[in-house]
Amino acid sequence: MRTLDDLELDGARVVVRVDFNVPLDGSDITDDTRIRAALPTLAALKERGAAQVILLAHLGRPKAREPEFSLAPVAARLGELLGRDVPLADEPERDELGDGPVVMVENVRYFAGETKDDADLAARYAALGDVFVNDAFGAAHRAHASNHGIAKLLPSGAGLLLQREVETLTGILANPGRPLVAIVGGSKVTDKIGVLQAFLERADTVLIGGAMCFPFFAAQGIGVGSSLCEEAGIEPAREVLANAKPGQLRLPTDLTLGRSFAADTETQHVDGVETPDGWMGLDVGPKTAAEYAGIVESAGSVFWNGPMGAFELAPFEPGTRAVAEAMARTQATTVVGGGDSAAALTQFGLESQVTHLSTGGGASLELIEGKRLPGVEVLS
């Protein structure tokens, strides 16, 4: 994979695809992690003499030029972080950019053909600069005009963030410290069956949490009550159980239940995993949380994707918090695969206490599964 070291940057106009798909409350950015994650690459380009940096990014999934998906709040926040104005051009045209050291083009999904990797649109992007840098790992699993088509038209390479993402995630599979522990949570087995299979081949221990555990229980004939249990995930769960080595796959041994998905619902702890009718499992229990934390603390490498329960509701926070705090304490190499796990770390103030916090949920999972990432392959 070509990197900044392979590019002639002195005096160049550099088009950079960044991942600024940040959460908004109206026009207020509620989490600027992805913006801050791009700062090292922007600093490196300045140090290497780039004449101008032209940023391409998307926000949300607009069907047309919808004002609520404008990158204006993002440009304003980036300007605050850089200490300078970041102009926002309405169109990817050279004469609209101005001469500022850092400029941004409006949401690339405003332009027809972006998600279809349209060659004409890619050419418009390429005409903006001399060199292309892809630093948007979160979009690397998509072949779009702003991260794939343009890379075929200009000298191109990976930014520091994308480079670190790929090297860290491939490294934890290729040469991990042992024991390698994978923690896989969330709600759907079908979304992460490829990840589970990848870790069954490589990991010493795989810990299952969140609503994902219920298809595994259902596959064994254990009652799941009103718990979120993906019907389509039961057969894949049965296959995972059959393929796991003895002792490799760990499931919860106790649960925290609620009557409904609400912070003020009636709760109970069950020492076991049979969920009565009218109740739903919303967190792993304290015994499981302590067991999982101990396994994390004694690991050599840990990959975590998916919470242990509904951590956003106070009564069902403890399981995810226990894992997050163990990730912060352990001496292991710790990699968090974005998404809700990253949100949990941020909620608990532990986002800086892990070795690597991925900015790309879907991309990180697909890389772990061994799938092609078009935005990375085109840089080879």
Q: Is 287 a catalytic residue?
A: no
Residue in the structure block whose two tokens are 């979009």: 139
Give the separation between CA 306 and CA 192, rounded to whole angstroms.
Answer: 10
The answer to whether 21 is a known ligand-binding residue is yes
Looking at residue 149, the DSSP 8-state letter turns out to be I
Catalytic residue, candidates 100, 113, 171, 362:
362
Could you say which of 13, 188, 238, 329 is catalytic? 188
Q: Does residue 65 have a known ligand-binding role?
A: no
Ligand-binding annotation for 269, yes or no, is no
Q: How far is 129 from 118, CA to CA, in rounded Å?
A: 18
Asked whether residue 287 is marked as a ligand-binding residue, the answer is no
- Collapsing DSSP to helix, strand or coil, 356 comes out as strand
362 part of the active site: yes
178 annotated ligand-binding residue: no
- Contacting residues for 84 by C-beta, under 8 A, at least 6 apart: 100, 101, 102
Q: Which of 210, 339, 360, 375 is catalytic?
A: 339
User: Could you tell me how many helices (H) and strands (E) the chain has, helices first?
Assistant: 14, 17
Q: Both tokens of residue 156?
A: 């191109």
What is the edge-to-edge ordering of all strands in the sheet holding 180-184?
Answer: 249-250, 205-208, 180-184, 301-305, 333-336, 356-357
Catalytically annotated residue among 17, 34, 250, 321: 34
Token reading at 61: 């999934």
278: left (phi over 0), alpha (psi -120 to 50) or beta: left
* Residue 312 in marked binding region: yes
Q: Is 250 annotated as a binding residue?
A: no
356 is in an annotated binding site: no
- Are the C-beta atoms of residues 190 and 236 closer than 8 Å to each other? yes
- 188 belongs to the catalytic site: yes
**Is 316 marked as binding a ligand?**
no
d(C-alpha 185, C-alpha 206), whole Å? 10
One-letter amino acid for residue 162 of the chain:
L
CB 379 within 8 A of CB 134: yes
User: CA 295, 299, 304 angle in degrees (round to 5)?
Assistant: 80
Find out whether 147 is annotated in a ligand binding site.
no
Binding residues for ATP: 192, 281, 312, 338-341
Catalytic residue positions, numbered: 34, 188, 339, 362
Binding residues: 19-21, 34, 58-61, 109, 142, 192, 281, 312, 338-341
Binding residues for (2R)-3-phosphoglycerate: 34, 109, 142
Binding residues for substrate: 19-21, 34, 58-61, 109, 142
